[in-house]
């Protein structure tokens, strides 16, 4: 059948056995013949429905890698047979046939079968053989049916489950389902949204019907029947460019993303370059800027390369834009064709030590990609994502101690290119010497690094002790060991820091121009980039953040924030306003946007450096000075950051860091009369106390990002696999210590059980452990008090009647504050866990029926929080109505956790007010002055 490469996350079977239920018409003994994730999921769903699977027949291992169907079957102790071929010279191989007969199957299920199965096997089962086919038979028979659905421009796609006979996909139909083909569909999108998930379910429905004696056998008509050429043969992959643009477009998308439509580019020197075309779209007349002509062999019309891609002209004069090309093993942006065309990859000659390094690199690639690594293996073509890039770069740096950036992989995605890059950098060498302000601190020897971290407060450009040298213990959540002791600022220490900030605001900082402010911020961002591995390591040790996530998000987004607001520093402008003059005089009215003065910042423990950067970067860009109190339990990245501000050249007193408790240090900032603005991120109860202090002291301006109970609504018409993946991320991202985490999921009843099944299976594959380990997906909770709160939260949920499906407790027999990812279902609106935020990795799921949209929105809004929300649906009307009616500052549609430094972030109701990020955040740190002049 179709050889499309599709990846899916199979759901864990909820049964440990595979026995037949007593209510069946007759016991089925099923042999599954096939391969791939699709077949593995069919197996699991059949087991869940209590069918008996007596044997699994799949393809032979490829090198040391077995097919996932075999791996899954062995997990359930089902006999596995790996068959390289079923026939020899058209005759069944006796020993293979004997193995098949040994299991005693009376029904063959072929969910994804690429081998030719002899009729002795097809007819050897009492109840016959059923086969999945990605086409509405008889339209498009053959192995490439779904590709031809797109190539022929059909407006309907779908699949058939048919009874196999001695013809080529000609057997009677048991079941068919279909879906519309939309304009941007490709092979992948059709599989992901319909053919794969519906196909798995339908295979199980077909077996149920057979067991119940209700399965039809509908003869296929020959009217409209086709048998299309197999596109796994290279000669059939060449595109005809001498046809209308729509047909060109359809052919490209029919082979996107595997294997790619083949075309020949004719070079100026007369040579020919085969390329594969990916990412096509139809477009109208294009204004091609600085376009260069490129010649395609056999094309009737011209083609051009510009900054958007390659434009191919059809015989009707319309254009097809191609975004990506693959030449050999390397995928490149089509717009870069002329820049890349002359480059040749010449492998370096390696000495003995470098050959050892090559082996190490191959092992790292293999551990991530799960494939055998050849010279032309392409990292991204193997399905790697952004976190895989981070992991690869970090593991290579660990193993070979070579400085690398993510961009090095993007520019060298094949193994031979990457090997050349690494070896070249090692041969050239690299190093950095640094100097900074004097301080007392702790030396961390972790992550193959030696990192010096200040433990004193940072005030007026110097690291100093707290009054009476008072300190707080800082605990590593992974080991539960004390890392160091950090200064605990008193109210007197806070007063000193604020007065230094006030003097800097009136003095040295006032003399720095807006453009110079921006340059200082850019320099600080560059220093953070240079020290990002140290910062991420500190973040992992101090807060329990997974190192790869700390690099990408905790530190990466912090750097982005400083660069983003550096660009705003000299673009903060007022406006002129037309007003009615008192004639005969004239009037000029204009506004000025001015900094507020000393700003106090109080940041939480879940993203220590990122929350500092989100607030402080906007604050500094606006021209203010700052006194910040980082979280009591994890202040070390803030102190390391302070060291970098000195190296960047910030004047003394502009940035000050006071460490300590919220009740003393934080309260002193809130109450101080010289602080004119306070930015706070934390819990709603503490936010209320801070607001009261701000009002009572000097009615200081404040912005609050407080608690959340963000609803995520998942409709049955969603992309289920994506909803599962991002639904899990919405809860478990950063160990659930995420202010916009989906505190409650509403899942439509039609997909509820399947959604839960897939979530639980994926949880079981999550690697929980040392956050510095590059393979870890889930680290420890930030501190013990929080972990204890999560345990209590789950106990309340169980007591009130919610169903604890998974987790709910501390990870057993493991040092550190590790809490199991948790799933609750059957959660009713009245329950504590339906109303209150856990701020941990606890998924709270409630069912809903789609018939009452307004009631659903009312349930989503039945909370005093309004920070974020999300909805998964393909119905744009439902998505927009939800976005309109939900009471939340952020609405995610078919995504989650997708924040950007340019997009405003903040909540409604008791989730607070004011914005972080984006242009709007500058308003939090500016005041508007109106000037009127009469002349």
- The catalytic residues are 133, 705, 739
Q: Say what the alpha-carbon torsion angle 865, 868, 873, 876 is, to the nearest 10 degrees.
A: 100
Beta bridge partners of 332: 325
HEC profile of 27-71: CCEEEEECCHHHHHHHHHHHHHCCCEEEEEEEECCECCECCHHHH
User: What whole-number distance in Å separates Cα of residue 844 and Cα of residue 828?
Assistant: 10
User: What whole-number distance in Å separates Cα of residue 73 and Cα of residue 47?
Assistant: 10
- Cβ atoms 172, 218 nearer than 8 A: yes
- Cβ atoms 86, 117 nearer than 8 A: yes
User: What whole-number distance in Å separates Cα of residue 63 and Cα of residue 168?
Assistant: 31
Report helix, strand or coil for 732.
helix
User: What whole-number distance in Å separates Cα of residue 573 and Cα of residue 569?
Assistant: 10
User: What whole-number distance in Å separates Cα of residue 241 and Cα of residue 696?
Assistant: 75
Per the structure block, which two tokens stand in for 150? Answer: 């797109």
- Rounded to 5 degrees, what are φ and ψ at 576? -100, 145
User: What whole-number distance in Å separates Cα of residue 887 and Cα of residue 341?
Assistant: 52
Q: Where are the alpha helices (DSSP H) in 801-915?
A: 832-835, 853-861, 876-885
- Cβ atoms 893, 871 nearer than 8 A: yes
User: What whole-number distance in Å separates Cα of residue 714 and Cα of residue 730?
Assistant: 12
Per the structure block, which two tokens stand in for 731? Answer: 């809860």
User: What whole-number distance in Å separates Cα of residue 281 and Cα of residue 250?
Assistant: 9
Strands (E), 469-597: 471-475, 482-487, 576-577, 587-595
Q: What is the gyration radius of the CA atoms in the chain, in angstroms?
A: 31
HEC profile of 737-764: CCCCCEEEEEEEHHHHHHHHHHHHHHHH
Per the structure block, which two tokens stand in for 896? Answer: 């989650």
């Amino acid at each position: 059948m179709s050889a499309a490469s599709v990846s899916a996350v199979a759901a864990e079977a909820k049964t440990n056995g595979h026995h037949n239920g007593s209510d069946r018409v007759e016991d089925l003994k099923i042999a599954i013949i096939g391969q791939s994730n699709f077949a593995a999921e069919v197996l699991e769903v059949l087991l869940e429905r209590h069918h008996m699977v007596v044997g699994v027949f799949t393809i032979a291992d490829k090198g040391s890698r077995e097919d996932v169907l075999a791996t899954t079957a062995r997990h359930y102790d089902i006999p596995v047979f790996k068959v390289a071929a079923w026939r020899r010279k058209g005759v069944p191989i006796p020993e293979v046939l004997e193995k098949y007969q040994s299991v005693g199957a009376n029904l063959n299920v072929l969910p994804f079968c690429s081998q030719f199965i002899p009729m002795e096997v097809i007819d050897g089962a009492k109840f016959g053989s059923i086969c999945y086919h990605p086409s509405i038979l008889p339209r498009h028979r053959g192995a490439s049916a779904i590709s031809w659905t797109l190539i022929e421009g059909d407006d309907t796609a779908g699949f058939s489950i048919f009874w196999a006979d001695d013809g080529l996909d000609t057997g009677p139909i048991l079941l068919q389902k279909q879906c519309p083909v939309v304009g941007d569909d490709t092979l992948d999108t059709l599989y992901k949204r319909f053919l794969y998930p519906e196909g798995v379910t339908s295979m199980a429905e077909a077996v149920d019907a057979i067991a119940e004696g209700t399965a039809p056998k509908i003869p296929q008509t020959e009217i409209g029947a086709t048998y299309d050429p197999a596109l796994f043969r290279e000669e059939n992959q060449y595109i005809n460019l001498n046809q209308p643009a729509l047909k060109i477009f359809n052919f490209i998308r029919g082979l996107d993303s595997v294997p790619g439509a083949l075309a020949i580019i004719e070079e100026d020197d007369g040579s020919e370059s085969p390329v594969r075309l990916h990412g096509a779209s139809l477009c109208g007349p294009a204004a091609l800027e600085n376009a260069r002509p490129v010649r395609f062999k056999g094309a009737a019309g011209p083609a051009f390369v510009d900054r958007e891609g390659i434009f191919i002209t059809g015989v009707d004069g319309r254009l097809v834009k191609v975004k990506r090309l693959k030449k050999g093993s390397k995928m490149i942006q089509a717009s870069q064709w002329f820049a890349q065309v002359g480059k040749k990859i010449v492998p370096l000659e390696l000495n003995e030590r470098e050959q050892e390094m090559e082996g190490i690199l191959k092992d790292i690639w293999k551990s991530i990609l799960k494939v055998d690594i050849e010279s032309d293996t392409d990292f991204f073509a193997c399905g790697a994502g952004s976190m895989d890039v981070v992991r690869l770069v970090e593991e290579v740096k660990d193993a070979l101690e070579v400085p690398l950036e993510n961009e090095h992989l993007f520019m060298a995605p094949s193994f031979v290119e990457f090997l050349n890059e690494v070896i070249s950098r090692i041969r050239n060498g690299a190093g950095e010497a640094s100097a900074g302000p004097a301080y007392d601190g702790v030396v961390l020897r972790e992550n193959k690094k030696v990192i010096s971290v200040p433990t004193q407060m940072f005030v007026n450009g110097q690291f100093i002790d707290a009054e009476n040298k008072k300190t707080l213990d800082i605990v590593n959540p992974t080991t539960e060991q004390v890392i160091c002791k950090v200064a605990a600022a008193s109210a007197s220490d806070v007063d000193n820091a604020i007065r230094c900030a006030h003097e800097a605001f009136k003095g040295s900082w006032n003399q720095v121009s807006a453009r110079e402010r921006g340059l200082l911020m850019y320099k600080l961002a560059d220093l953070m980039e240079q020290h990002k591995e140290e910062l991420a390591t500190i973040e992992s040790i101090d807060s329990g953040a997974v190192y790869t996530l700390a690099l990408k998000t905790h530190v990466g987004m912090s750097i982005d924030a400083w660069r983003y607001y550096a660009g705003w520093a000299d673009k903060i402008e007022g406006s002129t306003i037309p007003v009615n003059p008192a004639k005969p005089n004239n009037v000029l009215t204009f506004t000025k946007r001015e900094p507020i003065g000393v700003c106090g910042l109080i940041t939480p423990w879940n993203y220590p450096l990122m929350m500092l950067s989100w607030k402080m970067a906007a604050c500094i860009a606006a021209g203010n000075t700052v006194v910040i109190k980082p979280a009591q339990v994890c202040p070390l990245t803030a102190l390391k950051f302070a060291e970098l501000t000195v190296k960047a050249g910030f004047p003394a007193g502009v940035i000050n860091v006071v460490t300590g408790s919220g009740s003393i240090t934080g309260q002193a900032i809130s109450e101080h009369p010289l602080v004119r603005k306070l930015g706070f991120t934390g819990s709603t109860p503490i936010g209320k106390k801070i607001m009261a202090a701000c009002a009572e002291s000097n009615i200081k301006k404040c912005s609050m990002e407080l608690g959340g109970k963000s609803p995520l609504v998942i409709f049955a018409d969603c992309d289920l696999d994506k909803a599962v993946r991002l639904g899990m991320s919405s809860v478990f991202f950063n160990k659930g210590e995420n202010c916009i985490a989906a505190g409650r999921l509403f899942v439509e009843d039609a997909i509820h059980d399947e959604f839960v099944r897939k979530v639980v299976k994926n949880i079981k594959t999550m690697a929980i452990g040392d956050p510095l380990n590059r393979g870890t997906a889930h680290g420890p909770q930030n501190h013990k008090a929080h972990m204890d709160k999560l345990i209590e939260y789950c106990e309340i949920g169980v007591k009130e009647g919610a169903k604890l499906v998974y987790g709910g407790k501390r990870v057993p027999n493991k040092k550190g504050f590790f809490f199991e990812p948790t799933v609750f279902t059957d959660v009713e609106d009245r329950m504590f866990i339906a109303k209150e935020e856990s701020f941990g990795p606890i998924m709270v799921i409630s069912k809903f029926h789609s018939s009452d949209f307004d009631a659903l929105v009312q349930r989503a809004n039945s909370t005093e929080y309004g920070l974020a929300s999300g909805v998964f649906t393909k119905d744009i009307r439902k998505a927009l109505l939800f976005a309109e009616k939900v009471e939340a500052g952020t609405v995610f549609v078919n995504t989650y956790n997708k924040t950007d430094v340019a997009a405003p972030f903040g909540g409604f109701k008791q989730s607070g007010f004011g914005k972080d990020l984006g242009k709007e955040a500058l308003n939090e740190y500016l005041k508007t002055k109106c000037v009127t002049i009469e002349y």
